[in-house]
Structure 1
Amino acid sequence: MLNRLIMDPKHYKFIILGSGQAAPPLAQALTAAHGKQSTLIVEKAFIGGTCINYGCTPTKTMIASGRAAYTYSRREEFGIRKFNSIPRVPDGAVDMAVIKERMAKIVKNFRGSSEDKLKISGVDVQYGEARFIGPKNIVVTANATGRETEYTADQIFINTGCRPAESQLPGASKIDPKRLLNSTTIMELTELPRKLIVVGAGYVGLEFAQLFKRLGSDVTIVGRSETILAREDENVSNELFMMLGREEIDFELGIIMLRLENDKSLGTPRVSLVYKPTPLGGHKSILATHILWATGRVPNTDMLDAAKGGIQLDEKGFIKCDEYLKTTAEGVYVMGDVKGGPAFTHISYDDFRILKNNILSPDAPKLSTKNRMVPYTVYTDPQLGHIGVHEHDVRKTYPGRKIKVAQMPMKWVARAIETDEKRGLMKAIVDGDTEEILGFTCLGIEGGEIMSMVQIAMMGGLKYSQLRDATFAHPTLAESLNNLWAHLEDLQEYEDSDKE
């Protein structure tokens, strides 16, 4: 408290805590409407939040390097004369320092662009950590000096995001942090792990597992669930499981993890994951040079003193809000991952659009989070894109409706055959009476892009028969949407045939 500036609090019309994908565009919009220096962003680390600094941008940049290595390993399939006798990426051919340097350069450019836009628009930015000391009243501890400054605002927006969950296994605290990694620290490696254990078979775990396998690491994915990507339909997750297995990624699923141990039995420091394969099984262990802990994320609310601002949290620490993103405190709103729900960049950006409309255009129809579409793409290779309902919960979501399901393997798509990217499948859920498209999944080459085409059709209220009868350019991936619907079956018939 000795560093607190003793003066009246500085007042802003708007204060935004955190600078994820919703914060910069909202700050710019508020500033444009109310004048320069009307809005303050408080950011603890880097402008742009998880997406630019730790998530989408750096990971997809690294995944592109993995794709390049994978394409190199397949060159002979396309008639390219081999340059050596090794039918894969040669040992030592991957330079992690160069991969990291390329990633860092792209991240820096993205971050700098966001910072420049805020500066030009007249948004004030304070780098430090904020906490509430009362309703719409915060204290910010500056990064550079440690000095505390008090601020008040008419309205406050919280966009502080989430961070990787830490391992709670016994022994985790004794493992070298350079060997027990999370989704952020694994991207700081300058050397390739010889043996990598990935704990968690969700989106993040699978993306990193495939990436490092393609770069040359031995990889084992472990998880408590019996399947990977538990939220997907079983046949989709099974298909991806087999794809990753063909790339020689190992799996230990449905296990009970017991503890982590340091191990020097082979002469070099390693980490041992001790587990039970079944509740009645004996203890086993896996040795690795590195472990990636990818079992979820936790909200950045523990430092906010949210209760002092009248802001309620749920049992997991996420900020409670209504469909208009209002928290339990008057004049305080929340955006992005820190409120829970779908943790996607595009959802955070949609939160910005909702608040911009409702605050700056009060006479316009109010927007809300209710019934909004939640598309997503998993950046394995091939991609997994999804929109709408899944087969496994369609009966619950649409009770009493006549449901039809269509499924088609990507090996029946001309463009996929021509590029020799035949892995995967596409799947659609429709209303058999109205022809409304209720859900769509594409596990295949550019699966996210194909999914987005179907999403646009759903947004426009197009029937599946209109896609079936549309004229798409040949040969494109889009024309697969002519052929998919020929495979529609009643849901019960589809379920029965799938069990055979």
Structure 2
Amino acid sequence: MKQRFDAIILGAGQAGPPLAGRLTQAGWKVALVERKLFGGTCVNVGCTPTKALVASAHAAHLARRGGDFGVVSSGPVRMDMAAVKARKDKIVAKSRNGVEGWLRKMEGCTVFTGTASFTAANEVRVGEEFLEADHIFVNVGARPFVPPAKEMPGTDSVPFLTSSTILELDELPKHLVVVGGSYIGLEFAQMYRRFGAEVTVVERKDRLVPHEDEDVSAAVLDVLEAEGIQVRLDACCIALSKRGDEVVVGVECVAGHPEVVGSHVLLGIGRVPNTDDLGLAHAGVTTDEHGFIVVDDQLRTNVPGIWAMGDCNGRGAFTHTSYNDFEIVAANLLDADPRRVSDRIQVHALYIDPPLAQIGMTEAEVRASGKPALMGTRPMTKVGRAVEKGETKGFMKVLVDAETKMILGASILGTGGDEAIHCILTAMYARQPASLIQRSVHIHPTVAELIPTVFGDLKPMS
């Protein structure tokens, strides 16, 4: 059976549902296809569940630190992991059901459940249904990357967890070995350490979060080691094996034992796009060597009438970039507003505690560019709000063009930094010089009040 629509949206992640809303409001007849869980990665296996677990871990951490604040408790802190999971599941279900309910009640939108596959440039198949439209929007997301056994021996025979399957645990691992020392792995590492597990992080590079500046990596390492997390760097030739009920992670490091033995192992080493079963070749859509759909600055593929949004296009692997993809597509299609991917400033956060937020260029990128630049820094020990909260790990760093005085980038590793950094980001979008923030008066006592001080103490980068 063939049905005709004005638009087909593949995937109910962060970009798909709001686009369906805009298109139907404009009078379009829309088909939306979702193969599994409404809400996509963020709602089901990404931001929503992980940040719910981070909140539980933070509560446990504060409970253990009660004595630092004059709080007297009786007995050691104990985790009820079934209750932790139940709380997370309840939050996820509410978000997921909200998205699905909205779509199914949306006038002008027909929801199909199943796996979609292109049969032509303007047609997809879902089960026995054939859907046809002149506008097709691919929003299929990504999934955890699992190396083949030839690259990481043991992945074909040893049980392991991914960032998705670990969310189903309702028990506390005795010793969690996390393979991958970047954003995904480190959030789970600190989380489970605070739940009470022994945790070891194994990272192939010579430092954690290697895409960040070296001082940021060093500070993150300090945060994690202070909580008792073991870190193995320069870990090449990683392999998995079984020893009774335990999992052995074999490593070749510059120093340390060649094996890490744990009860569970988590592979947190990146994600791959869900494009391999879309039949893109039948539509003539181009992908890169990693399977990401190639798009232009307005998210159009090489085939007229087909767009790609969200994690599957390789232009950002975050909820905020996915939603912005929707805004760009809708603005161009419906508002005659030529918005572009290149208009946005690169921003991301790492939700360990304290969180790390980074916007614009890193120090390493500024140095590599050859731009004459100014830099200002402040340790969180100088932030009154951080001292009062007893959370003084980390620092602030801002980077400014020495000639134009425009802000190039900033990093904040510290309590509240993921929120405070947005005042800098707004100034960057407004194309205002550093003096705007330097002369601003922020509320005391807040983390953000030290940001004008940092800009007031800029010095040439050596």
The TM-score bracket by the shorter chain reads over 0.9
Query: Across the two proteins, how many residue pairs are aligned to each other?
Result: 458
- Deviation of 1:259 (Å): 2.1
Amino acid at match of 2:200: T
Contact 1:299 1:318 in 2 (8 A): yes
Question: Quick one: which of 268, 287, 293 aligns to 2:267?
Answer: 293
Q: Distance in 2 between matches of 1:206 and 1:236?
A: 14
- Deviation of 1:318 (Å): 0.6
Contact 1:408 1:487 in 2 (8 A): no
Question: Quick one: which of 140, 163, 172 aligns to 2:155?
Answer: 172
Local SS of the residue matching 1:60: helix
Which residue does 1:458 correspond to in 2? 428
Q: 1:408 to 1:282 in 2, by over 3 A?
A: closer
Contact 2:417 2:447 in 1 (8 A): no
Q: Runs (4+) of structure 1 moved beyond 6 Å?
A: none
Amino acid at match of 1:80: V
Matches within 5 A, 1:72-111: 72-84=63-75, 86=76, 89=77, 93-111=78-96
Which residue does 1:438 correspond to in 2? 408
- Deviation of 1:465 (Å): 2.1
1:238 aligns to 2:218 (yes or no): yes
Which residue does 1:375 correspond to in 2? 347
Q: 1:285 to 1:372 in 2, by over 3 A?
A: same
Q: Distance in 2 between matches of 1:427 and 1:439?
A: 9
Contact 1:194 1:217 in 2 (8 A): yes
Matches within 5 A, 1:312-327: 312-327=286-301
Q: Distance in 2 between matches of 1:53 and 1:171?
A: 28
Which residue does 1:220 correspond to in 2? 200
Question: Quick one: which of 270, 280, 286 aligns to 2:246?
Answer: 270
- Deviation of 1:434 (Å): 2.5
Contact 2:3 2:130 in 1 (8 A): yes
Amino acid at match of 2:350: V
Q: Distance in 1 between matches of 2:389 and 2:203?
A: 34
Q: Which structure 2 residue ranges, 5 or more long, are not aligned?
A: none
Q: Distance in 1 between matches of 2:25 and 2:122?
A: 22
Local SS of the residue matching 1:29: helix
Matches within 5 A, 1:7-406: 7=1, 9-35=2-28, 38-84=29-75, 86=76, 89=77, 93-122=78-107, 123-141=109-127, 148-168=128-148, 169-176=152-159, 180-264=160-244, 269-278=245-254, 284-361=258-335, 364-397=336-369, 399=370, 401-406=371-376
Which residue does 2:455 correspond to in 1? 485
Matches within 5 A, 1:469-480: 469-480=439-450
- Deviation of 1:48 (Å): 0.8
- Deviation of 1:124 (Å): 1.1
Local SS of the residue matching 1:376: strand
- Deviation of 1:473 (Å): 1.6
Q: Distance in 2 between matches of 1:460 and 1:134?
A: 43
Bigger Cα Rg = 1
Amino acid at match of 1:210: Q
- Deviation of 1:372 (Å): 1.4
- Deviation of 1:116 (Å): 2.0
- Deviation of 1:282 (Å): 10
Q: Distance in 1 between matches of 2:135 and 2:183?
A: 35
- Deviation of 1:191 (Å): 0.5
- Deviation of 1:437 (Å): 1.0
Contact 1:257 1:273 in 2 (8 A): no
Question: TM-score, with normalisation over the residues of structure 2?
Answer: 0.96
Amino acid at match of 1:223: E
Local SS of the residue matching 2:219: helix
Q: 1:412 to 1:283 in 2, by over 3 A?
A: closer
Contact 1:195 1:288 in 2 (8 A): yes
Local SS of the residue matching 1:34: coil
Contact 2:421 2:448 in 1 (8 A): no
Q: Distance in 1 between matches of 2:158 and 2:110?
A: 41
Amino acid at match of 1:388: G
- Deviation of 1:463 (Å): 2.2
Q: Distance in 1 between matches of 2:177 and 2:237?
A: 13
Amino acid at match of 1:274: G
**Identity score, percent:** 39
Local SS of the residue matching 1:173: coil
Q: Distance in 1 between matches of 2:235 and 2:441?
A: 49
Contact 1:167 1:293 in 2 (8 A): no
Q: Distance in 2 between matches of 1:467 and 1:367?
A: 27
Q: Distance in 2 between matches of 1:390 and 1:260?
A: 35
Q: 1:28 to 1:104 in 2, by over 3 A?
A: same
Q: Distance in 2 between matches of 1:273 and 1:435?
A: 49
Local SS of the residue matching 1:327: coil
Contact 1:404 1:431 in 2 (8 A): yes
Local SS of the residue matching 2:386: helix
Q: Which structure 1 residue ranges, 5 or more long, are not aligned?
A: 1-6, 142-147, 493-500
Partner deviation per Cα, 1:249-300 (whole Å, 9 max, x = no partner)? 0011101134211111xxxx1111112114xx89821111100000000110
Q: Which moved more, 1:148-157 or 1:21-30?
A: 148-157
Amino acid at match of 2:438: R
- Deviation of 1:487 (Å): 3.1
Contact 1:274 1:283 in 2 (8 A): no
